Amino acid sequence: MADLEFKITRNSNPLPAAERQQILDAPVFGANLTDHQVVCVWEKDKGWVSAEVLPYGPIMMDPSAAVLHYGQEIFEGIKAYRHQDGSIWTFRPEANAKRLQLSAHRMALPEVPVELFVESLKQLIAVDGAWVPEPVNEKTLYIRPFEIAAENFLGVRAAHRAEYRVIASPVGPYFTGGLKPVSIWIALDSSRAGKHGTGEAKTGGNYAASLLAQNEGYENGCSQVMFLDAESSTYIEELGGMNLFFVYKDGHVATPSLDGTILRGITRDSVCTLIRDRGINLEERKITLDEVRAGINSGEIVEVFACGTAAVITPIGQFKSREETIGAADSDAGELTASLRAELTGIQYGTVADRHNWLVKLAD
Ligand SMILES: *Cc1c(COP(=O)(O)O)cnc(C)c1O
């Protein structure tokens, strides 16, 4: 790995600057990709054999490629932030690298070394830095590193060839309603993660399993789905792609503990730190839907929010299922929710002191 040098092939036909600027003026999440991609190849018995920056383009794939049949796929989500002086930064990339390794281990894919992961972000930004929007309106460049089983073989076993790729897409705010609380659909008929399953891995299959419930949520005016534990449907786990926090009237905060079925959100971990920094009591423990229902109805729970890289911190106004409605859709974002959000985005955009050294510079 130490001698794995990136080979760079520039896109000879990049999007003209004026068209790129049009996209950066009003980016739509995931709709437009930058001019380049990173492609690294791994082979069994050889390890990581190549690392390249290539023009963005389709993957030529054999129909028998393992990923298309048995779902050996994992991904990450991380952002590049432009600061006022024009420099480009990212947030806790080593944490994403380690989580990609955790996901790789669970899904029997090769681990991308932490240095290769961080270097891949730098390499992409070196050629596509102009795609990182100006720091207004919460605009960022969303980076999507992912790994797939790329062996052409229908036998059922861990693939002997894998690819690690990085693509990127400029984004604005994830939910367009500003800090307006969203409604969450409670999945009563589907689970996303079972004991010893893949809930801790950031793998496409977990998302595929969540989409039926998400459709149900959309039909009922909800933007996201909350999943309960698969065994007893009693404990709150998380949303399809975000972790949850509950703020109590007496000032303490609670979030579901990481018991193996919940994705280890890096935003969750950062928010836990920011909460503890403020001297607020934070409980990581099991939380039942019954407790949340009673707490919201009695006023014991005063704020609920979800967090993840894409949407940062999003206030939740109400929970709905086919059986009940908890809370009110027209509530305002809570005070702690708003202030944690301002602090976290301030650190990311370089306007609030980065006292935990979370930022890593990608380009000057
Ligand atoms: C990615 C993801 C999150 C959020 O993780 P961050 O590191 O904060 O972006 C939460 N839950 C699930 C299921 C996820 O896939």
| Cα gap 30→141, rounded to integer Å | 10
The answer to whether the 6-171 and 182-344 domains have the same CATH topology is no
What is the pLDDT at residue 177? 64
Can you give the residue ranges of every domain in the chain?
6-171, 182-344
pTM: 0.97
No. of helices (H) and no. of strands (E), the chain: 8, 18
Among candidates 255, 236, 244, 188, which has minimal Cα distance to 216? Answer: 188
If one looks up domain 182-344 in CATH, what number appears?
Answer: 3.20.10.10
Q: Ligand 1, from 202, 206, 227, 271: best to mutate by most atoms within 8 Å of Cβ?
A: 202
Where do we find the tokens 């934070």? 282
Distance from residue 88's CA to the centre of ligand 1 (Å): 23
| Cα gap 59→38, rounded to integer Å | 12
Q: Ligand 1, from 214, 263, 340, 348: best to mutate by most atoms within 8 Å of Cβ?
A: 263
If one looks up domain 6-171 in CATH, what number appears?
Answer: 3.30.470.10
| Cα gap 226→236, rounded to integer Å | 8
Q: 3-state class of 259 per DSSP?
A: coil
Among candidates 165, 4, 209, which has minimal Cα distance to 74? Answer: 165
Q: Ligand 1, from 144, 243, 264, 272: best to mutate by most atoms within 8 Å of Cβ?
A: 243
Distance from residue 353's CA to the centre of ligand 1 (Å): 24
Q: Where are the beta strands (DSSP E) in 259-324?
A: 282-285, 301-308, 312-320
Ligand 1 pocket, residue 266 CB under 6 Å = yes
Upper half-sphere CA count for residue 240 (Cβ side, 13 Å): 23
Distance from residue 18's CA to the centre of ligand 1 (Å): 34
Residue 88 phi/psi, 5° resolution? -120, 130
| Helix axis angle, 93-106 to 114-128, nearest 10° | 120
What is the pLDDT at residue 201? 97
End-to-end alpha carbon distance in the chain: 26
Contact 153, 287 (CB under 8 A): no
What is the pLDDT at residue 2? 53
Residue 187: burial class (beta carbons within 10 Å; 0-12, 13-18, 19+): buried
Distance from residue 345's CA to the centre of ligand 1 (Å): 17
Q: What is the pLDDT along the chain (364 residues), one digit of tens a residue?
A: 557 899 999 999 999 999 999 999 999 999 999 999 999 999 999 999 999 999 999 999 999 999 999 999 999 999 999 999 999 999 999 999 999 999 999 999 999 999 999 999 999 999 999 999 999 989 999 999 999 999 999 999 999 999 999 999 999 987 666 688 999 999 999 999 999 999 999 999 999 999 999 999 999 999 999 999 999 999 999 999 999 999 999 999 999 999 999 999 999 999 999 999 999 999 999 999 999 999 999 999 999 999 999 999 999 999 999 999 999 988 888 999 999 999 999 999 999 999 999 999 999 9
| Cα gap 352→264, rounded to integer Å | 25
What pairing do the DSSP bridges indicate for beta strands 47-55 and 73-75?
Answer: unpaired
